[in-house]
Copies of this chain bind each other. A is one copy, B any other.
């Protein structure tokens, strides 16, 4: 079963690592759940999500589809920018693919909002794998419905 669930890491990561708005958003996010993304931390301006690469994530070149790496990073940004309770949506983002991810790799995407001005924000996400090496770097822009 795929599922974006709050990771069962109760010993080290208490539920309080995810704000109430992020938990609500998680409950209604079918796409990230379906892809297999887990949320481990979300607070205003910061979030961490994880994905273990499976066969169905891989493309014709035998590595994780770049689109799913982007989806993982974009999901981290969505939680970071919505964790405070204001709705924010992405307007633009780009990704640099540094190293390929393969079946069995456990990826972590950590987002930090680096700039905020009025309703607009810029966020950086780094995607790493289990050995700490960088798989991708992502920068995205969001617009909040109200100033945060």
Contact = CB atoms under 8 A, between A and B. Distances in A.
Contact of A64 (B31, B93, B97): B31
B78 A72 contact: no
B137 A68 contact: no
A74 B115 CA distance: 20
Q: At the interface, is chain A mostly helix, strand, loop or mixed?
A: mixed
Contacts of A35: 67
A56 interface: yes
A91 B96 contact: yes
User: Looking at A71, A73, A92, which has the most chain B CB atoms within 10 Å of its CB?
Assistant: A92
12 contacts: A28-B60, A29-B59, A60-B82, A66-B90, A71-B71, A91-B97, A91-B120, A92-B94, A94-B94, A94-B95, A99-B117, A122-B137
Interface of A: 24-32, 34-35, 55-62, 64-68, 70-75, 78, 82, 87, 89-99, 114-115, 117, 120, 122, 134, 137, 139, 141
